[in-house]
Amino acid sequence: MTREEQREYMRAWRERHPNYYKDYGAKYRAENPDYYRNYRAAHPEYRASIIRAKQQRAIRQKTIKESLRCKSCGELDIAKLHFHHKNPREKERTIGQVWGHWSDEHLLKEIVKCEVLCLQCHFALHKRIGRQGITIDE
Ligand SMILES: [Zn+2]
């Protein structure tokens, strides 16, 4: 069996048994109700390492913002900078909500849909174009 054939076989198998993995997991959890609690108790460093990784990602992603400035007035203070979605229909999430949660790649894909404005310029823009308005680059 070549790699391709193997992949195709597995795909067909999953199609014939759509609930196999779901049922297996549910059955396992029913038989071992304390598994996750015991695991967490036995590996206290595991949770801490996940939290640390998230914090580091948030710090790393914040440095993206430090390299930016308001497109309209040049403001540099990162506390005052907003990401304005040029087309609200393309918007998946507000950048501030996903900071440190999304991967770098996913975050950058969202950021390219935006332009950077300070909060005053952002509010002024929305006063002009309305809440759902699309920004046309001049
Ligand atoms: Zn501004």
Interval between CA 50 and ligand 1 midpoint (Å):
36
Give percent of the chain above pLDDT 70: 98
Q: Report angle CA 101, 86, 80 to the nearest 5 degrees.
A: 60
Average pLDDT over residues 120-137: 84
Would the pTM of this model clear 0.85, i.e. be above it? no
Residue 82 clears pLDDT 90, i.e. is over it? yes
Interval between CA 76 and ligand 1 midpoint (Å):
9
CB neighbours of residue 67 within 10 Å: 9
Residue 88 clears pLDDT 90, i.e. is over it? no
pLDDT band at 137 (very low <50, low <70, confident <90, very high): low
**C-alpha–C-alpha distance, residues 81 and 67, integer Å:** 11
Per-residue buried b or exposed e for 73-106, using 16+ beta carbons within 10 Å of the residue's own CB: eebeeeeebbbbbeeeeeeeeebeeebbebeeee
E strand segments, 20-109: 81-85
Interval between CA 109 and ligand 1 midpoint (Å):
23
